[in-house]
Amino acid sequence: MMAHALRLVYLVLVIAPVAVIIGATIPAIISDPGILNLLLPSGRRFDLLIHSLTLASLTALITTGFGFLVALALTTGRLSRWPSLRWFSLVLAALPPYVHVLVWTQALAWLTTTVSQQPLQPPPLQGLAIAVWVEIMAWLPLATALALIALVMLPRETIETARTYRRDFAVLTRIVLPLAAPMLMGAGCLIFVLALTNYEVPSLFSITTYSLEIFAEFSTSHEVARVALIAVPLLTIASIALAGMLMVIRRYSRISSQLNSGFGAIEWEWPPALNTTLIIALFVLAAQIFAPFLILILGSGSIHSVATSVAEARPEIIFSLIVAISAAMLAPPLAHAVSRRLDSAHILWWALAILPIVVPAPLVGIGMLKLVNAWAPLWLLDSLTLPIAVAVARFTPFAILVFSAGLGSQNSDDRDSIDAVRVFQPNPLKGWLKIRLRLMAPSYFAAAGLVFALSLGELSATLLVAPPGRSSLAIRIYNYLHYGASESVHGLCLAILTMTTMATFFVVRFINHQTRRATS
Amino acid sequence: MICTHINRTLLLTLVALILSLGCNGPSAPIVVVYTSVDQVYSEPILKHFAEISGVTVKPVFDVEAAKTTGLVQRLITEAGRPRADVFWNGEFAQTLMLAERGLLEAYRPSTSHDIPEAMKSSLWTAVGCRARVLLVNTNLVDDEVMPSTVAELLAPRFDSKRLGFANPLFGTTATHAAALAAIMGQHTASGFFQDLIDNGVHMADGNSSVRDLVASGRLHWGLTDTDDACQAINRGDPVRLVVPDQDGIGTLLIPGTVALINGATHPREAHVLIDYLVSKETEELLIASGCVQLSVRPGGKNAACLPDRPISAMDVDFNAVFAELESSRRSLLDIVHR
């Protein structure tokens, strides 16, 4: 009953805005069937799509490779003695891509002038290489997280048996990699989708992408139907990739139903070449974490100027925190309820879980606005309800991905507990709160942390629904970026970084606590 | 038990906060303004208005990075039940688009009598003005070879990879491209941008990027707006502002615009705000703050960062520029998005 109600809320909050956009497109097609040509990219748009696919594939491939190497270094090297440390590779998971652009543009500019010792600045950074590098930095925490999950879940007994016959490197290539491959492929698919739908990073390095084409159409015609139709090819490709990812994660999680933390306890002996590669991977991780901290601290001037920037942005910080905390509280139960429907018999729910991830953010905002603007009372429109609703609409599907991995990994003891509760529970709500919720607590916290962090940086949809007189931190940062107020931008980005680091810290601490309780 | 209690308290506090932010005092006069003018400039002006008028101003700010999918799209979507009373735009093309769609209501501000007819219509009025200019790094370009026209972006004496312009699909560069199309014809204007790209001239993400690239020395010079150029000058960067084409077609002026929204729920307060924004005093404040650099009034004082001589403006009707905008963008899509 409870799960049905939550799925209904999911349909209203997450699917209805998308349905409104589809509804607005149909009359436009009827009045001008010619616009259906936009569905099939041809000529220039086809080339652009291929170009975008190349960029996204390259990003996904390299990032997943780096993520695996970083995870391997954190679980099999000296650092494996501190298991909590490995999850801190995720502290920048939610740093918006535009902050990575800011950081790496400055870092590489400094590096090129210092290394070449030339007084003159080199030409502007542009092109595929720098765009791919910044995208790698933006998505590396995600790739590392999924690779860590893949390694931690490997069956220790199988590996130990194999090690008695062959050297460690052979075990890695013949046993570990094939077992971890499905999850790594899942990571690759997710990063592919994120890179494919992101226009900001490539655009800042003079690379045009298909997702920028969508925004160009917005600016040119302001017609939602045309924009929606142009977006369809991108949505289709991204949906197929995401469906593949979800299927892989669910199947893989079932195979590895016993969460096994023994992988890191094995004393691995790698050949020198692999050891060197792992050290390089750790350097990349260190650069990914420390460069943003360093550049933002140096660029923000003094503690006083950071304090001033934060004090001036207090209303926006409060707005963003309320929205992010509320979305983080609302999205996980909805995601949990939907993820329980994701098996092969419910193809429709698969589609409903995937579609909202790939719909461009402005369309989600416009859909939400169209949905409520005509009838909602003013007090509701003037409250933070709509910004929270769009955050839930945009990021609940990401929480579904977290639950998909979490649900599959429930072991037989968990399922026995649930069955026992079904018999003895005084009412379904108490049973849900006391047992199911506690069993799923790590997934809830991981999903909440992810939604919190993503909501904190949301811009495009919030812009369309923010109540008059209220504004978010991301909107303020973008305004300062345009103005060129470097110190304020650095100070506020540092504030975002601090908040996401704290969120990561609490989530990791809670998951560790829960794991220890479960083990004991 | 304690944990549940804390959770319940947290939840109730959050709900109360979310909803309380939607409650207003019953009698306070209010005006809702949507503005694409940078928050750093518009916020102090709106606060000043609130202080002197006693009207509570509720602004919604736009950001350049949203590529015009923000406030304009919001105004279109809200057309049946508008939330905004006033649209204060940093340029004119989107205002004309809203006018064409019937989203604006006629209002002639009482403070607009000294503004020329070219800078106002029954539906909108100009609020200060920016211009398209060249920003040159003085450490890298000598006085003798200083560029003086936009066309010199194609001059062989400059290293084309060290010159820049913003993406012509968005913002004021899109308007500039449409203005060139209105004057020279679509074919010639598109050809110019085609040549820029073929020659490897750097296409930046926006005008502020052009400013920063020139100021840092990564570009020698580039095409941008006066507000960006003057920011670089005011912060002491080694740059010079050149008003282009003063012996030829003149430079394109980009007036800011303000308009009353059709069906505004607070029309009286909206009139007062529009009168304030259009007034000579506010224009002076906007010029002093760096939001705009040129007065729209004959004999009005321009910003100190501009050359102290009259500026020759491009002789083009704003409606003609707007009429070219969509076809210009479609044509540029084929050039830029390859």
> How many angstroms separate the CA atoms of B115 and B298, rounded?
8
Distance from CA of B61 to the nearest CA of A (A): 8
Q: What is the 3-state secondary structure (H, E, C) of chain B?
A: CHHHHHHHHHHHHHHHHHHHCCCCCCCCCEEEEEECCCHHHHHHHHHHHHHHHCCEEEEEECCHHHCCCCHHHHHHHCCCCCCCCEEEECCCHHHHHHHHCCCEECCCCCCCCCCCHHHECCCEEEEEEEEEEEEEECCCCCHHHCCCCHHHHHCCCCCHHHEEEECCCCHHHHHHHHHHHHHHCHHHHHHHHHHHHHCCCEEECCHHHHHHHHHCCCCCEEEEEHHHHHHHHHCCCCEEEECCCCCCCCECEEEEEEEEECCCCCHHHHHHHHHHHHCHHHHHHHHHHCCCCECCCCCCCCCCCCCCCCCCECCCCHHHHHHHHHHHHHHHHHHHCC
Q: Is some CB atom of chain B closer than 8 A to the CB atom of A480? A: yes
Contact indicator for B37, B89 with CB cutoff of 8 Å: yes
Q: Which of residues 425-464 of A touch B (CB under 8 A)?
A: 459-460, 463-464
Cβ count within 10 A of residue B239: 24
What was the pLDDT predicted at B37? 92
List strand residue ranges (DSSP E) for A197-244, in order: none
What was the pLDDT predicted at A425? 64
Q: Which of residues 249-278 of B touch A (CB under 8 A)?
A: none
> How many angstroms separate the CA atoms of A74 and B309, rounded?
66
Residue that the structure tokens 């007062």 belong to? B272
For residue range B194-231, list pLDDT tens digits in order: 999 999 999 998 898 899 999 989 899 999 999 999 99
Mutate to test the interface with B, among A479, A487, A514 (most CBs of B within 10 A): A479
Q: Of A465, A394, A342, nearest to A7 (Cα)?
A: A342
Q: Which of residues 298-327 of A touch B (CB under 8 A)?
A: 322, 325-326
SS3 A129: helix
In whole angstroms, what separates CA A445 from the centre of its chain?
15
Burial of A412 (0-12, 13-18, 19+ CB in 10 A): exposed
Cβ count within 10 A of residue A427: 10
The pTM for the full model equals 0.85
- pLDDT at residue B3 greater than cutoff 50: no
Contact indicator for A449, A88 with CB cutoff of 8 Å: no
Q: Is some CB atom of chain A closer than 8 A to the CB atom of B32? A: yes
What was the pLDDT predicted at A438? 65
Look at B12 and A182; give whichever has higher pLDDT.
A182
**Are A384 and B219 inside 8 Å of each other by CB?**
no
> How many angstroms separate the CA atoms of B307 and B123, rounded?
32
Q: Of A356, A395, A389, A370, nearest to B73 (Cα)?
A: A370
Average pLDDT, integer, range B291-296: 96
State the amino acid at position A11 in one-letter form. Answer: L
> How many angstroms separate the CA atoms of A20 and A370, rounded?
7
**CA dihedral sign of residues A152, A158, A161, A165:** negative
Contact indicator for A472, A462 with CB cutoff of 8 Å: yes
Q: What length is written for chain A? A: 520
What was the pLDDT predicted at B28? 79
Q: Is some CB atom of chain A closer than 8 A to the CB atom of B327? A: no
Q: Is some CB atom of chain B closer than 8 A to the CB atom of A484? A: yes
Which residues of chain A have a CB within 8 Å of the CB of B59?
A: 468-469
Q: Of B191, B214, B192, nearest to B134 (Cα)?
A: B214
For residue range B67-97, list pLDDT tens digits in order: 555 789 899 999 989 999 999 999 999 999 9
Average pLDDT, integer, range B19-38: 75
SS3 A222: coil
CA distances from A507 to A97, A409, A445, A511 (A): 22, 19, 6, 6
Average pLDDT over chain B, rounded to an integer = 90
- Within chain A, which residues score under 70 in pLDDT? 1, 84, 94, 116-121, 249-265, 343-345, 405-439, 482, 484-485, 511-512, 514-520
> How many angstroms separate the CA atoms of B210 and B223, rounded?
7
**Are B22 and A381 inside 8 Å of each other by CB?**
yes
Q: Of A335-339, B22-26, B124-128, B164-168, which gets the smallest average pLDDT? A: B22-26
> How many angstroms separate the CA atoms of B262 and B59, rounded?
17
Chain B CA closest to residue A325: B14
Q: Is some CB atom of chain B closer than 8 A to the CB atom of A383? A: yes
What was the pLDDT predicted at B17? 58
State the amino acid at position A363 in one-letter form. Answer: L
Q: What is the 3-state secondary structure (H, E, C) of A369-422?
A: HHHHCCCCCHHHHCCCHHHHHHHHHHHHHHHHHHHHHHHHCCCHHHHHHHHHHH
**CA dihedral sign of residues A336, A353, A363, B83:** negative
Q: At what angle do helices A314-339 and A2-10 cross, to 10 degrees?
A: 130
